[in-house]
Structure 1
């Protein structure tokens, strides 16, 4: 195991940590949120519900769901992959950096966003950031494609560096995660007919979720499989009746309310650490409800 740790450590992580005074650490703790699961889900959900009505330019609902489906696929993929490979994180990955004057009420949140546990290869943040921000660059039509992918590339690099500064990954982990993300995104973009058929991506997420359960049954693997199945089943039923674009702002607001309720429901169920069956059902209902948010928003409005 020690040889595997050394092989993944080429000195860059130690160099970055050497320059990591506490203001830098705090800055990169915020940057790393651009690739965190909660932020990617929020990004995909907002794009899906708002459709073409975002201030900076939106997309058709199917393309918005494609981006959201990339998040679910990334979660299912990394859950299965990490527990199949099982390589350790750097020593101290579970210990938060020291920040002078940190308010006690923020210590828990800071610890949560600056530490990590479990297997470390490849980097989930690098993989997910590459897939989701890259997918966003594919489907948006504002600006040139070079500009969109340039911005996505900068975000991927910054998030990857943040994982090294925080000491939760080796350099090889983030390079492998980003490289694998490029390949997976390319395959899914092709499979989904340029992001217009998200059902195929959701089906991949379902398959990967089942593989993750077969490898190891945990709270995360159960929640991941349930979420993928719920989203896929609901989309199959509403794909033909979901509006391509929202018609009114009331419809969008109502959709956001539904999305928020479903996200809150999942957070409460997951945090309570229930039985696997209850978690599976809760994740299925939450993800299914989130997938139906645009249609429910239309009917509520």
Structure 2
């Protein structure tokens, strides 16, 4: 038994099938695709976001996104440096009984992963992103957002052991490194003007050390696009939405523009260097959408 495990994978993997299936769905919240969807909508809706609206604005959300890109680059770099394997069977889907047929394929896909295992990217990323959102939206005397973000990060981290793709040590290291990254970033990279370039620098360093991996290429392109868009448009991007309708129009425009660009990129499937530039365009467009949203709303009358 590896020192990184202490029997946790075997113990948690023996949970009843419905619980394993539930954790398999929870683990999807730690995927890059989930971050992209959740934080794009939060950014476009801004202060009109249900429940969280009175605590957030667009600069805060885009800062969390930038910290997420930095976390993505860091974990890809660290995985290559440590080069430690995942648990045996991480490449085989978990079969569960007692769940609807429509969910079985989703659960199967969520319980498979490859590549190096240490530290856990889901634990690192969810701590940095969901924990970071909770940290930055907490107020003195009201720490509920922090507790909620931390709870979500813990559940996502725990799910990686339950579905058998990480050892306990991978997850603990991921959480600890996520907290450390947040503490350093909040202190020394307090705005997107600093955090986007820092994330790009980490991705570039990772490419030198580990070579052109998917996540490092995405991180480099995303950080480049975010940096250019924020440095260029910062003064033009409304921190808050003029109205609920403006927020909805902005979000709708974002879905159409960014979704369309992503569909084009997926269809073209460009090689690495053009792919980096294509990612930069997509993220730059995402950041720029709130500039056009109010104008479109005014035209719609």
Q: Which sits farther off after the overlay, 134-143 or 231-240?
A: 134-143
Any idea what SS the aligned residue of 1:292 has?
helix
Alpha-carbon distance change, 168 to 267 in structure 1, aligned in 2, over 3 angstroms = farther
Q: Which residue is 2:231 aligned to?
A: 236
1:71 to partner: Cα distance: 1.9
Match of 2:280 among 270, 284, 288: 284
CA contact (8 A) 1:226 1:280 kept: yes
In 2, the alpha carbon distance for the partners of 1:169 and 1:210 equals 26
Alpha-carbon distance change, 282 to 257 in structure 1, aligned in 2, over 3 angstroms = farther
Any idea what SS the aligned residue of 1:7 has?
coil
In 2, the alpha carbon distance for the partners of 1:117 and 1:62 equals 35
1:118 to partner: Cα distance: 0.7
1:107 to partner: Cα distance: 5.2
Instruction: Please list every run of at least 4 consecutive aligned residues from structure 1 whose deviation after the TM superposition is greater than 6 angstroms.
Output: 101-105
The equivalences for 1:242-257 within 5 A come to: 242-257=237-252
1:204 to partner: Cα distance: 1.2
2:146 pairs with 1:149: yes
In 2, the alpha carbon distance for the partners of 1:62 and 1:144 equals 23
CA contact (8 A) 2:87 2:166 kept: yes
In 2, the alpha carbon distance for the partners of 1:271 and 1:14 equals 41
In 2, the alpha carbon distance for the partners of 1:229 and 1:201 equals 11
Q: Which residue is 2:11 aligned to?
A: 15
1:26 to partner: Cα distance: 0.8
Give CA-to-partner distance per residue, 1:100-119, whole Å, 9 cap, x none. Answer: 47777655533322211111
2:178 pairs with 1:204: no
Any idea what SS the aligned residue of 1:265 has?
helix
1:253 to partner: Cα distance: 2.3
Q: Which residue is 1:218 aligned to?
A: 213
The equivalences for 1:121-136 within 5 A come to: 121-136=118-133
Number of residues paired by the alignment? Answer: 293
Any idea what SS the aligned residue of 1:169 has?
coil
Match of 1:28 among 23, 31, 50: 23
Q: Which residue is 2:181 aligned to?
A: 184
**TM-score, length of structure 2 as denominator length:** 0.89
| Structure 1 unaligned spans of 5+ | none
In 1, the alpha carbon distance for the partners of 2:38 and 2:24 equals 18
Match of 2:78 among 77, 81, 84: 81
**TM-score, length of structure 1 as denominator length:** 0.89
1:83 to partner: Cα distance: 2.1
In 2, the alpha carbon distance for the partners of 1:267 and 1:190 equals 37
CA contact (8 A) 1:258 1:290 kept: no
Match of 1:117 among 114, 117, 121: 114
1:130 to partner: Cα distance: 0.7
Q: Which residue is 2:96 aligned to?
A: 99
Give CA-to-partner distance per residue, 1:5-42, whole Å, 9 cap, x none. Answer: 712121122111122x3211110011112322222222
Any idea what SS the aligned residue of 1:293 has?
helix
Alpha-carbon distance change, 81 to 265 in structure 1, aligned in 2, over 3 angstroms = farther
Q: Which residue is 2:290 aligned to?
A: 294
Q: Which residue is 2:46 aligned to?
A: 51
In 2, the alpha carbon distance for the partners of 1:82 and 1:258 equals 37
